[in-house]
Structure formats: C-alpha cells, structure tokens
Amino acid sequence: MKYLWQLAEWPKFHWDKARLAESLAEARHRQGLLLGQMRALGFKLREEASLETLTADVVKTSEIEGERLSAAQVRSSIARRLGVDIGGLVHSDRNVEGIVEVALDATRNFDAPLTIERLFDWHASLFPTGRSGMKRISVAGWRRDATGPMEVVSGPMGKEKVHFVAPPAKRLDQEVKAFLNWFEGNNTIDAVLKAGVAHLWFVTIHPFDDGNGRIARAIADMALARSEQNSQRFYSVSSQIGIERDSYYDILERTQKNSLDITRWLLWFLACFSGAISNAQQTLESVMSKARFWEKHASQPLNQRQIKLLNKLLDGFEGKLTTGKWANIAKCSQDTAYRDILDLVDRGVLKRNNSRGRSTSYSLAEV
C-alpha cells in the first residue's frame, strides 16, 4: 500500500467528469439560488447572515480538531472586525482572534494571491504562543520531523492506529510550491471542484506540525469565495464537515491510500458542499425572523439594556434568562433588571416560563 504522495504520477489528480456532472450541476444550482436569495436581502441583512455563517464556520472548524471555542467570543470578534453592531461586544481570547483572522483573510481577501508567506502568517495566527496544547511546535515554518515521520494516528498510547504518513520534511518546499503554482495557475477546473482538490492536496502534503486541517478548510473557503467573486459567506462547509465528521475522516483516509483518481472524494465533497448550502437556509430564516421581530417592535420605546438582551435572546441565548442573568449581562441592579423584564412582559414581548419563585425564567413571547 502506498500513499498518494508516494505514487509515481503524484500529484496528477484525475477524475471521472461524467460521474461528477450531475452532482456538480446540482451543487452549482443550489449555490446560485442561495446567492440570489441573499442578494435580495439588502446589505444589512446580508452582513448579519455573513456574521452568523462565519461564527459557525470558525467554531466548527476548531471543533473538528478537538478545540472548543466560545461562540460568543467568536461572534464578537467577527462583528468588531466587520463593523456590525450586535448590541455589546465581549472580550475575545487570543486563540479566538487568531482563527478569526485566518477565516476573514481567506474570504475577505480571496482575490489576493496565496503565497508561502501568507500561509506562514495564517499559521502564526493559529498558534500565537508557539505551542499546540503543551507541545512546542514550529510556527510560521514547515515541520522538521525531528522526532520521526509526521503521522496521523488515533487510539490510546501503545495501541495507536496510523491513518496516514505525510511526505518527509525535506520535500515540503517543492511540494508546497507545486501546490501554490497549481492553485494560482490558469487551470480550467471548475472552481467548486478546485476547492475540493485543494483541500485534499493540502492535507496530504501536511506541511505544518499542527493546524493543517484548519488551513486546508480556509484554502477551500478561499476557492469557493473566488467561485462566487463574493467576500461574504452565507454557508459553512466546515460546519457540514463537523456534522459528517466520521464520514469525512473515513473518505479522506481511503482516498489518501488509494489512487490518483479522486472521483469518490470529489463526489463526497460535492455532497458536503450541497449539504452546507441546504443548512444555510436555517441561517437565512434566523436572520429574517430577527428582522421581522424588530420591524414589529420598531415603535416600542425600549432602553439600551432591553435592546441588548432581546438581541441576545434572538441570537440564541444559552440556558434560561433569569432576573439575575439580566442584571449580570446588563450590569444593573436586580431591581432594575426586574423592572426591565416586567415592562417587556406587560407589553407581550417576553413571557414567563412555567417555573416560579427563584427559578422564574423568561423567553420571547414570539419570534
């Protein structure tokens, strides 16, 4: 058994165009319909949809690698950079800021060339402390394989299963240059297929000590942004990969141990891409629902605390809203929080939930 990079014809990928034709046409059709819907929304709602999509994208691309980020911190970081008012920002950790920087650079600056320097900048943003967990890694530089070949393994110590062995470090300069020349070259491949090939190619090279998956997904997002000539993101392939995580790792491993005919990988990628677009309808409905809510209550004389907390409820408040949580978030007294809430209950904007006493909680009467 040989890995793709060990084959004599590497990296001359090929695929069966006839087998891909129907899936590609369907994916492109879905993509066009979604972009048409978004263009009809108006700038403010498009920005809101893009904010929600990017937040999910950043959170999920990290979860795939086993790192859980605060969605509130991610959303706040993106909103600040995009200039979107979300009714109060929260402090974001440096690791959150780093992955947000990569995601936004890949999509907002999609037309800028992808270079080795840019890849190094992305890697430095992902690992600002120079460590992956407790382990010191080579940052903004290729892996050195000082302790042996780069392997992707799973399982407990002593019973590890090797899923993939990457090309040796001495080949990385030429491997990455070949990849970048192809990515920036004037090839005739469909741009959505190019995103799938780019993802597979980069994770197969595996040039960094860590962060290869996240950077591969950022590169795919850049290719998709180029396919649309649009810096706003309205669907998240990373979120869909997170949903299909097991099948993702399975098809990736089988492809990397197979031949340079990557038809099956591209069929999987197109299905994942189409799934991401289908799930984007939920984001669209959420944005439209929020817009309808504020249109309905536009004439209500609300104070800034009430606006801030209502926006949090509309964005998906974690847990139950109580007087104590209101006071903590709005930075006011319990009495002020209770008056704010009671005022909204009296107007029919909020409703009391079934619990009473100290467990009394509130939710939106309708959205």
Spatial separation of the C-alpha atoms in residues 86 and 323, rounded to whole Å? 21
Neighbours of 2 (CB within 10 A): 11
Q: Which residue has the tokens 């993939």?
A: 164
Q: In which band, very low, low, confident or very high, does the pLDDT at 367 lie, cut at 50, 70 and 90?
A: low
Query: CB–CB of 237/217 below 8 Å?
Result: yes
Q: 52 or 265, which is more confident?
A: 265
Q: 321 or 291, which is more confident?
A: 321
| CATH number belonging to domain 4-290 | 1.10.3290.10
pLDDT at residue number 89: 67
Segment 230-244 mean pLDDT: 94
pTM of the model: 0.83
Is the pLDDT at 70 greater than 70, yes or no? yes
Q: 271 or 79, which is more confident?
A: 271
Q: 358 or 140, which is more confident?
A: 140
Segment 33-55 mean pLDDT: 88
Q: In which band, very low, low, confident or very high, does the pLDDT at 357 lie, cut at 50, 70 and 90?
A: low
Mean per-residue pLDDT over the chain, rounded: 91
Pick the CATH number of 297-364 from 3.30.1360.70, 3.40.50.150, 1.10.10.60, 1.10.10.10: 1.10.10.10
Angle 263-296/43-64 helices, nearest 10 degrees? 130
pLDDT at residue number 87: 60
Q: 307 or 86, which is more confident?
A: 307
Is the pLDDT at 83 greater than 90, yes or no? no
Segment 280-306 mean pLDDT: 82
Q: 144 or 87, which is more confident?
A: 144
Phi, psi of 24 (to 5 degrees): -65, -45
Q: In which band, very low, low, confident or very high, does the pLDDT at 338 lie, cut at 50, 70 and 90?
A: very high
Segment 63-71 mean pLDDT: 90
Q: In which band, very low, low, confident or very high, does the pLDDT at 230 lie, cut at 50, 70 and 90?
A: very high
CA distances from 66 to 132, 133, 216 (A): 12, 11, 16
Structural domain boundaries of the chain? 4-290, 297-364
pLDDT at residue number 315: 77
pLDDT at residue number 130: 92
Query: CB–CB of 220/195 below 8 Å?
Result: yes
Spatial separation of the C-alpha atoms in residues 206 and 228, rounded to whole Å? 27
The 3-state DSSP composition of the chain as helix, strand, coil percent (nearest 5) reads 60, 5, 35
Cα dihedral 344→346→348→352 (10° resolution): 80
